[in-house]
Amino acid sequence: MVVRTRSESVSTPVNIPLRYAVYSPEGHRRQSMIAAVFAGVVFFLALMPIVVTDYDGSAPTASEYKTRAGFDHGGYHLPVIRAFEAQLPTPDLHDYASATTPGYHLLMAVVARVVSDDARVLRGMSALIGAVFVGVMVYALAVGGVMRGARYGVTRAMPLAFSVYVVSSAGWLLPDNAAWLLVLVIMMIALMARLRICALVGAGAALVGLVLVRQVHIWAAAPIWFAWWLGERDVSDAARAAWIPSREDPLSRKAMRTGVAVLATLPAIGLIAWFVMVWDGMTPPSFSTRLSGPNFVVPATVLSVLAVFGVFFVGDWLPAGWAALRERMGARITLVVSAAVGLVAGVAPESSYRFEDRISHIWNVVKRLPTVGERSPVIVLGSIAGAVMAGMIFNALGRRDRWVMLSVLGAFVASQTSGALAWPRYYEPLVLMWVALACARIESFVPDRKEFAPVRWAYAVRTPLVVVLAVLQVVVTVVSLR
C-alpha cells in the first residue's frame, strides 16, 4: 500500500487531484528561481578556469588536442565562427566546416564582431549558454508537475549539469547546449497544463531557433503537435486514470487544435526546407558523404543509455509505477509491450562494436565483451531494461503527461535513427532531461511497511542514488577532460 506525501498538510480544492493542486505560494516559485539562478552561476564560475586559460583551445595538429571537445572546437566550430565574422553581414551558408545548421556560429560571429573576437570571450558566451540551460532545468524540475521544490530541482539536475557532454559544450565552442536549451523549452511548453496561443507561438519560435542550431532536432515539432492534439490537462488526468487519452474531447476539436499547432511549426519546417535546397541535402556538402543513414542500432543504444541512468532515478518512478501495475490491467499490458519492443530493438540489428559509428560510453563496454551472432548482450539487455523502465515511467505518469513524454522519446529516437552515427554523446543529455522531467511529474508516494521490499528500499534511497550518479558524472567528466 502507498500513500501520498506533502499533500496531507495542504488545503486542496474539492474534487481536484492533489498532484494538480497548487499547494505552493509564490514564495515557492521564488525559491525555485533563486535555486535556478544559483545553480547557473555556480556552473558558470566552475567553468572559468577552462575558459580564461583557453584550455585545449588550439593545437598545432589535430592529434595534439587533449579532448574531443577541443578537437571539435579548434578543428571545426571556431574556424566557422571566424569565417562568418569576416563575412558579416552576408555570411556564405552554402558550405562550411560544420555538419550543423549555422545558428550557433552566427550568434558567436556577432559576439566576436560586436564584443570581442578573443576565443576566451567566445568561450565565456558558450559557458553562459550552458549556465542558462542548467538554471532552466533546475527551475523546470522544481516547479513542474507536482512542484517538488528547489532541493528536488537542484539534486535531479546535477547528473545533467555534470555530464561530460554538457560541460564540454559549455567550456568549448560547441552548439549542443544551445540546442538542448531550446529542446527543454519546447518540452516545458508541451507539458503545460493549459494551452495558450502565446505558448504555442513561443514553442514555434523556439523550434525555429532549435533547427537553426541543429537541423536534426526538427523532431521536436512532434511533441508540440501531440500536446495540442491531447488538449488541456484536467481533473481526469490523475496518475491512475484510464490508460488511453480522454475520449470526451471531440475529434474535430482535436484536429483543429493540431492544425493550428502544425501552422505554428511551419516556419521551422520551411527553414529546414530552405537549407535542404541550399545544401542539396540535410548537411553542408562537405559532410554529405560522411553522415548518411539510417542506423538501426540507435533505438537499442538510446534505450541502453536510458537503462544506465534510469536505474539511479528508481526511487522516483518505482513506487507510483508499481502501484499502477497492481491497479490497472492497462499498465501491465504496457509493461509487456515495452519489454517486447526493447527485445526486438535489441535483437534485430547487429550491435557489435564498430569504430566508424559506435564509439564511447556504453560502446566501450561492448568492445570488451564477447558478442553472439554479432549481437552484443550488453545492448540487448540494455535495450530491454531501458524499455521496461520507460514503460514503468509511462505508467507512473498522469494520463496526458505520459503521452507527451512518449512522443518526445519516440520522435527523438526516430530522428536519431535516420542518421549514421550511434554515438551516445548525442543521446545522454536528452535521456537525462527526459527521465528527470518525467520523474518530477510523477505523483509522490510513500510505501508503507507492508509494501514490496524493493519498492520501500528504492524510495528510501531515492535522493542518495541520484547524488551517486552525479558524483560518477563528475568523475567521468574530470577524467575525460583532463
> What is the identity of the amino acid at 177?
N
> What is the identity of the amino acid at 55?
Y
Cα–Cα distance measured from residue 243 to residue 66, given in angstroms and rounded to the nearest whole number? 50
The grid coordinates of residue 438 equal: 518525467
Residue 191 pLDDT = 94
Q: How far is CA 25 from the centre of its chain?
A: 29
Residue 160 pLDDT = 98
Q: Is the dihedral of CA 192, 197, 198, 203 positive or negative?
A: positive
CA triple 262-203-47, angle to 5 deg: 145
The grid coordinates of residue 56 equal: 585545449
pLDDT averaged per 10 residues in sequence order, the chain, 482 residues: 42 40 62 95 97 91 87 94 96 94 98 96 98 97 81 96 97 97 97 91 98 96 95 59 57 90 97 96 82 82 96 94 91 96 94 75 85 89 97 93 96 91 88 97 78 84 95 95 86
Residue 397 pLDDT = 93
> What is the identity of the amino acid at 412?
F
CA atoms within 13 A on the CB side of 308: 23
SS3 of 210-257: the string is HHHHCHHHHHHHHHHHHHHHHCCCCCCCCCCCCCCCCCCCCHHHHHHH
Q: What is the DSSP string of 272-285?
A: HHHHHHHHTSSS-G
Cα–Cα distance measured from residue 388 to residue 331, given in angstroms and rounded to the nearest whole number? 11
Residue 239 pLDDT = 45
Cα–Cα distance measured from residue 96 to residue 83, given in angstroms and rounded to the nearest whole number? 9
Backbone angles phi, psi at 123, to 5 degrees: -65, -30
Q: Is the dihedral of CA 334, 194, 319, 302 positive or negative?
A: positive
Closest Cα partner for 139 from 9, 2, 40, 213?
40
Residue 420 pLDDT = 78
Residue 234 pLDDT = 62
Residue 335 pLDDT = 96
Residue 145 pLDDT = 66
